[in-house]
Amino acid sequence: MPSQKSSAPKPSEGRRVPQRQRGRERVAALLEAAAACFVEKGYEAATMTEVAARAGAAIGSLYQFFPTKEVLAQALVEQYGQAFHAAIEKLAAQSLNVSIDELAAQLSTFLIVFRRRHPAFVILVESGPAPAADGMAIRRAFRAQLQALLTQRAPERSADEMHAAAVVVQQMMKAAVAIHAEPGMPGRQAAQAQLQRAMQLYLHDVLET
């Protein structure tokens, strides 16, 4: 499957990249603390002082690597973008070895699982502030990766057909997230099962000749 890494967000400007292991570990701790603060308080309410305190670091150390909160958030977006693309590439690499029904099941839960593992991803990419443009880049690259994944299973289909299929699958995956995330939804499991069944039927139609 062709890599989509070139479509992922580029490293943000104004940020010092550590060259030594100790510095990389410090940056990782700062990013982890920032993610926790953003989830707990939201991007706007979280402060750089709180991030430094949660990381057990001096505020000067935080500013040394991330001069502004926007640069800090951008670094997290880049990290999540890389993790997101790596996860879908892993799924694509395994997709030829599973049935269409199993592929539908994996796609139906992909976004739910990723968001659970990276809760700050939702804050910054989907409902966040300045990094919104990068969120769009992540979504477009994700669609391209889905198209490549589906094309592996149906190489005889045209690029236009598979692009349309990728759009539909992407929207169905987002619908699965919406069902999972709605508070107090009655019949949630039944709705999730029906959506997965719809994904299975759609993929059989698209991928089988």
Q: What is the pLDDT of residues 150-169, one digit of tens each?
A: 999 999 999 999 999 999 99
Pairwise CA distance, residues 125 & 162, whole Å: 26
Q: How confident is the model at residue 67 (pLDDT cuts 50, 70, 90)?
A: very high
The structure tokens 């539909």 sit at 168
The residue that leads in pLDDT, 135 or 181, is 181
209: tokens are 């000749």
Query: In terms of Cα–Cα distance, which of 27, 45, 33, 198 is closest to 107?
Result: 198
End-to-end CA separation in angstroms for the chain: 21
Does residue 4 have a pLDDT over 60? no
198: tokens are 């719809």
Instruction: Report the predicted TM-score, pTM, of the whole model to 2 decimal places.
Output: 0.81
Percent of the chain at pLDDT > 70 equals 85
* Contact between residue 7 and residue 144 where contact means Cβ atoms under 8 Å apart: yes
Does residue 37 have a pLDDT over 90? yes
Pairwise CA distance, residues 201 & 147, whole Å: 18
Q: Going by CATH, does the domain composed of 5-207 fall within 1.10.1270.20?
A: no
Does residue 72 have a pLDDT over 70? yes
Query: If DSSP states are collapsed to H, E and C, what string results for the chain?
Result: CCCCHHHCCCCCCCCCCCCCHHHHHHHHHHHHHHHHHHHHHCCCCCCHHHHHHHHCCCHHHHHHHCCCHHHHHHHHHHHHHHHHHHHHHHHHHHHCCCCHHHHHHHHHHHHHHHHHHCHHHHHHHHCCCCCHHHHHHHHHHHHHHHHHHHHHHCCCCCHHHHHHHHHHHHHHHHHHHHHHHCCCCCCHHHHHHHHHHHHHHHHHHHHCC
Q: How confident is the model at residue 103 (pLDDT cuts 50, 70, 90)?
A: very high
Which of 28-32, 125-129, 131-135, 177-181 bottoms out in mean pLDDT, i.e. has the lowest?
131-135
